[in-house]
Amino acid sequence: DGGITQSPKYLFRKEGQNVTLSCEQNLNHDAMYWYRQDPGQGLRLIYYSQIVNDFQKGDIAEGYSVSREKKESFPLTVTSAQKNPTAFYLCASSTPNEQFFGPGTRLTVL
């Protein structure tokens, strides 16, 4: 089955801890993205990568970091510098024209 997987579905962390969210795709897409979704605020772009070993900051990159060592994988680290990390995180990959999303990870920082 082709698609985008994110794990885990729910994640709980203590304040001050870094946490890494997984995103894997087997669609052979070059471009991948991370979005954050808060109630009533739509989707906000955190980071994106158009090709392996390259990535750019989105609109709200502060407190986050990414890597793109493989075409299939684009992990997101939520660092302790992120002031309000509790949110729903969505990973996407794209053809030149269309983006497709994974099922999301809900992160709760206690």
Partner 1 sequence: GQQLNQSPQSMFIQEGEDVSMNCTSSSIFNTWLWYKQDPGEGPVLLIALYKAGELTSNGRLTAQFGITRKDSFLNISASIPSDVGIYFCAGREMGFRAGNNRKLIWGLGTSLAVNP
CB atoms within 10 A of CB 98: 9
Give yes or no for a contact between 97 and 37, defined as CB atoms under 8 angstroms apart: no
Q: Which of residues 60-99 bind partner 1 (CB under 8 A)?
A: 88, 90, 92, 94, 96-99
Q: How far is the CB of 59 from partner 1 (least distance, A)?
A: 4
- 106 exposed, middle or buried (CB, 10 Å; 0-12, 13-18, 19+)? middle
Please tell me the count of residues contacting partner 1 according to CB under 8 A.
27
Q: Which of residues 25-64 bind partner 1 (CB under 8 A)?
A: 31, 40-45, 48, 50, 58-59
First to last CA, the chain: 35
Residue 1 binds partner 1, judged by CB under 8 A: no
* Residues in contact with partner 1 by the rule CB under 8 A: 4, 6, 31, 40-45, 48, 50, 58-59, 88, 90, 92, 94, 96-104, 106
